[in-house]
Chain A
């Protein structure tokens, strides 16, 4: 999500940056385009307006006329404003001194509360806790049964006894206490914020259970109504935060920005798939970077460290830099990378990728990978070791063997050689460039360079530019340090976001 928004902002920024002089009319035009981009991403109208006003305030025409790089100035203002809105700390759950810690989930119908309840239970379990799931949705047919099944899948305890939601919830908390569970998660029925009877009911549930955390569950696809709904639930329940669901879709997720802006309450968790493991803490600063097209390197690194055999990877990387990386290495490493999640998902975490590259990557599913593997498998051992051997007739043979066209094989080999060249010149300490990819790799190149030469510096840079991001990323300020904003730490955080998994 957020991709289209960042693409739009990138374009507006790019155009501005190329200008030496910015007139008030230019600025007005850029602001109106930014507003449109925000609205198309479902940012609420008044929030979009306020956002643009704040950007305008950050770059007065006088200031711009004095600046040597006025375009850059506007870009920076947008960057700072986004960080200001989305920024903040990742939630740290503080557990009740007298257990159980009670968590109440509320929201509209179909937002994903029941699934979120089960995912949260699994998440707490992974934190070494011992949760109890309570089904207090007596409204929707089979909602109790759904949570019971999910509880079983997550391997956590389950309770739902009584015929009144308030009783069920109260009883659930007592049960949690009696059984010595340290976290109790209450699922409630979906309700419309304008349904006074049902809003009173959830208020009664809250009063009866005194939850330590009350989260509003919001669908990332929500439109303009998100603010209205969030306000109403906040007034009734005094929310502690928001759980954002269905982030694995392609919605631009403006609702998240709006709710954060209006309520000032953090987005605590984000859910990115239908599996129970697809929920994690939300990292606001990382998300701001993602909106700005700067990728999310921290999450990428965390994910890599969790799944990849680092020793083997280090050896392969060394060969890459020496220029002796073979198609066999490629196959091995591709299998490793595949474990990290979808290629499209990984691409989103990488800074500086062009839209073209991201689009291409998002189309690469297991089938595509299998086809590419098929081509490599149709090469002889010698060919895999030395791709230079592969002439036209060999290409044709490989194509026949793998059921692909000659052009596909040629493209794969060309791409492989370009990558090898890029890595080799990196190894030789040069700044490589890759033709033919629309310059979309500037960020990756730079990151690769840093990763190789000076990991510490990479870390430092990530922290330094406020929300992170590399100097070459489209929105990052040119001078180091000027983009500094809310809440970014260069220390590593546990539990990175999981790439949207494909399928179920």
Chain B
């Protein structure tokens, strides 16, 4: 029991001393001569040195030419058969096409229950309290000013307010991703996000899409941490008929990606799409590792043109935190909202776009290669506000 005393003592000293140290660290005037210690992290498979201080690149990689390494689970004809889905199609399953909040539409006058209903539909869609309150305040002011007078008018205004919110950021049309590089450089698209959101799957879909546009795509298996992550990406490579650069389990992810970039430069690939291991945004050392990955991928001949953050549509308000931290670390250029085919509505991206001005670029709507659609504010808002299937 007295060991508690020790813990308290140590923690008191550390936390107290730490207050100053961390405050200082966040200010730009950091005294020189503070060598950051090398962090050596025990890995599950083999010990790896996550050396985030130097950008040394040992090579330890293998290349899988577009042939299947693992059994291809999806039959080829299934891929070609599936027609490009739409938001409507994806969400029709769960919620029907935009019918609007039925009761609100029917109502002539605006009653307290009308407000409740609007609030509920936004909150249930994970839009979040702050954004919901802001939207409703605007509406209340308009009702007070007499510009909106009935239930359906109110709903229409909410819809256009949401669409306007999602129109503040510039969004390349038709889900186009940037390939703009200096002469002699190779564009790199980096996929980042927390664990299990759908990064690897999204890469498979992006590869399928880019391949369909006639681009020569090379995938880089930058997740060398999770068991069988490389095999998973290789399977996607085979499905989408593109080459994959694989690293050994536990290899330095930056090295694998850099190897892919060099190979792409030498062999005239149009783009490298790089996978990264899922990581929680609050793990400092893993975020450092990601920063290094980005730096190395940006090194000649590579040039990072897109950093796509994958967010799972089932995620609640934490998605905002994810977006904040990832973009601070690696300057996210766009968001892919995955698993939008489920019953969750992903309304938190409204808050993300409003606060961070990062455009949502794609919706993931299934597990097939073609289940990726360009984000479109109107269709998204209609799906967000649609009635529940059993209303």
Contacts and interface: CB of A to CB of B under 8 A. Distances in A.
Interface of A: 36, 39-42, 45, 108-112, 138-143, 145-150, 153, 192-194, 219, 221-226, 228-229, 246, 248-252, 254-255, 274-276, 297, 300-301, 304-305, 308, 310, 313-314, 316-318, 320-321, 325, 330, 333-334, 336-337, 340, 343, 346-347, 350, 356-357, 360-361, 363-372, 403-405, 407-408, 411-412, 414-416, 418-419, 422-423, 434, 436-437, 441, 444, 447-448, 451-452, 455, 458, 502-504
A246 B280 contact: yes
A226 B15 CA distance: 36
A304 B5 contact: no
Contacts of A297: 4
Given A363-B22, A403-B35, 15 more contacts: A45-B123, A224-B124, A225-B342, A228-B343, A229-B314, A274-B225, A317-B2, A364-B18, A367-B39, A370-B37, A372-B18, A408-B17, A411-B20, A412-B17, A444-B11
A503 B285 contact: yes
Interface in B103-145: 120, 123-126, 128-129
A311 B2 CA distance: 10
A346 B348 contact: no
A430 B228 CA distance: 59
B341 interface: yes
Nearest to B338: A110
A503 B283 contact: yes
Contact of A224 (B18, B31, B312, B316): B316
Interface centre among B3, B22, B231, B282 (most CB of A within 10 A): B3
A436 B13 CA distance: 12
Contact of A320 (B5, B195, B235, B339): B5
Given A145-B231, A403-B34, A503-B286, A363 B70 contact: no
A320 B6 contact: yes
30 contacts: A42-B318, A108-B342, A109-B198, A110-B196, A138-B73, A140-B232, A142-B231, A142-B235, A145-B227, A146-B231, A149-B227, A193-B342, A194-B94, A221-B315, A223-B317, A224-B123, A248-B283, A250-B282, A252-B317, A314-B2, A337-B6, A350-B7, A360-B22, A363-B22, A372-B17, A404-B34, A405-B24, A408-B21, A441-B12, A502-B284
Contacts of A225: 126, 314, 342-345
Contacts, number: 306
Contact of A365 (B9, B128, B285): B285
Contacts of B33: 403
A224 B119 CA distance: 14
B321 A149 contact: no
Interface in B305-347: 312, 314-319, 321, 339, 341-345
Given A42-B317, A145-B231, A317 B21 contact: no
Given A108-B342, A408-B21, A503-B41, A223 B126 contact: yes
Contacts of A360: 15-16, 18-19, 22
A218 to B, nearest CB: 9
A219 B4 contact: no
Interface centre among A45, A361, A403, A503 (most CB of B within 10 A): A503
B321 A250 contact: yes
Contact of B42 (A321, A330, A414, A504): A504
B232 to A, nearest CB: 4
Interface residues of B, number: 85
Given A45-B123, A368-B21, A219 B314 contact: yes
Contacts of A346: 7, 11
A138 B50 CA distance: 33
Contacts of A147: 227
Contacts of B231: 141-142, 145-146
B7 A340 contact: yes
Contact of B3 (A140, A193, A313, A419): A313
Given A300-B4, A310-B3, A320-B9, A366 B39 contact: yes
A259 to B, nearest CB: 13
A275 B228 contact: no
B197 interface: yes
A222 B18 contact: no
B367 interface: yes
Interface centre among B17, B37, B280 (most CB of A within 10 A): B17
B24 A408 contact: yes
Contact of B342 (A194, A275, A452): A194
A223 B228 contact: no
Nearest to A275: B44
B93 interface: yes
Nearest to B130: A40
Contacts of B125: 224
A340 B344 CA distance: 38
Contacts of B195: 110, 112, 246, 274
B43 A455 contact: no
Contact of A313 (B2, B22, B228, B317): B2
Interface in B175-209: 194-198
